[in-house]
Structure 1
Amino acid sequence: MHLTDDRWADLIETRATEPGRALDTLRTRERRPLLTDGRLFIVAADHSARGMLGVPGDRFAMADRRRTLEALLVALASPGVDGVLASADIMEDLALLGALDGKLAFGTMNRGGITGASWELDDRMTAYSAATLQANGLDGGKVLLRLADDDAGTAPTLEACARAVDECAAAGMPIMVEPLPYHHDPSTGAAKLLDDQDALLRAVAIGSGLGGTSSATWLKVPAAKDPERMLACTTLPALILGGSPGPDPEATYASWERAMEVPNVRGLVVGRSLLYPADGDVAAAIARAESIVRPT
């Protein structure tokens, strides 16, 4: 076990008695370049900051912080994992646990679109800003851009994400933009991912054009049924996202492998599929993903 009872108790105690230590550790940790071999493998752990707590079969899996940190420690202990994408609370836990030396730290930015809320697609900046990413010693940021033609909340989200792109570029930091097509389910009114390849292509085109410069932009996109077509509209580097764990892990891995064949795809940003695999073997799931990002 990476997170023993003693380490867990020390983390809880430090949070209460030395609140500034986490930021000091983040700012002074060993840093690394963004790219060392042209590939990136990032584990994602920013879901809980907008109230997304479940995986299939366990509605509150991510509400168990110790379990989440244990999985992240397993992942980050692997040399093939380049870094983490997280909200400030998780990022600072990992810093205190010594897990971020030599790793990339990407901070999530817009978490205001709370899962299930009536305003879900009005996704405001409630986590990191470009200024706090830089001040706190992180390496880059990430925004989620859900585009729904039937929801006016898309407009302020577009504006906020464009501002984040410009601010990160001005600070010399990369920013991941995750453009996804959404709509409101006519039967429930809930915001849902739109399963439409043409709409996904359109979303990627919109996300690529955000801001006054795209020099800092990396795309974070689904594997898609036709990844080459999805990314034909841009020259920007892209990372493939994992999404929720599916019933057939091998089919998921195969979709990632297909996507990695597209020239501007540089790697993976995956969270739940690897941190909460159906068989519980995080190390094996991480190793499988590593073999896709950097095949031998």
Structure 2
Amino acid sequence: MIFAICSYGIWGFLPLYFLLLAPTGAFEIVAWRVLFSLAFCAVLILSTRAWRPLLAALRSPRIVWTMGLAGVLIFINWQTFILAALSGHVVETALGYFINPIITVLLGVLVLHERLRAAQWAAVVISFIAVIVLTVGYGTVPWISLILAFSFGFYGLIKRRVGGHIDALSGLTLETMWLTPVAIIQLVVVSLISGLTFGTVSPVHSIALIGSGVLTAVPLLFFAAASRRLPLTTLGLVQYLAPVLQLIVGVVVLHEPMPPERWLGFGLVWLALLVLTVDTVASGRAQRRLVTDPI
């Protein structure tokens, strides 16, 4: 539980961390985040002598290419998240991660051909209505929230498909290896357009940029440790901590507007999550009874 709370707690406060990196822009932050994440993973692998799982993964073309696709999705997620955080749309990022569990359920139907229970369908429908309400309230589709929800949903789906074949550290290492050329090109473009800020602001600022790589890898490793020890139902409940913290940051700290229609949209999403959570807990208990009390 401590691992889970730490991982989702870090993710919840990440918008504030990225805001403290000013005047660095979103594209430079993401590029350094990729490169310093890879460096941190390399240090961990060398210090713990965990290169055997990575070498085993590199010998499997299927895993390598799959991690490349996962890297693309997490890159889209990171870039969208940081652009939103730096442009005053933290509340929309929170909405995206509130919607994410519903998207995960929907992907189970569309991609894995899973059958949903009535309560799960109800949660999906309520979430769809919430998006309509928010679209009407914003005057436009909440693209930031939907991009975050779908990119992380597909990312989770891919990680689930290969989860038994690669550990969290090796997986993140492969993902950032794939993204390294993109990050380098991004830094070159930024340097030509506006100039790089790394090493030009202050030593503390440079250390903070390096720390973005650490803050990428550490919560993922905490999450991996928690997922091996906690029931999926418990882990699913803790995941709401991150968007709750992001919502608090957006509304209380950054004073982003929350008109009535936005509260209504969030309320519908929370209702859908409540329905989904109650159904998941009830289903889990029923399955445990079948296991402990076989007929």
TM, length-normalised to structure 2: 0.29
Structure (1 or 2) with the greater strand fraction: 1
Structure (1 or 2) with the greater helix fraction: 2
| Higher RCO (CA 8 Å, separation ≥ 6 residues) | 2
TM, length-normalised to structure 1: 0.29
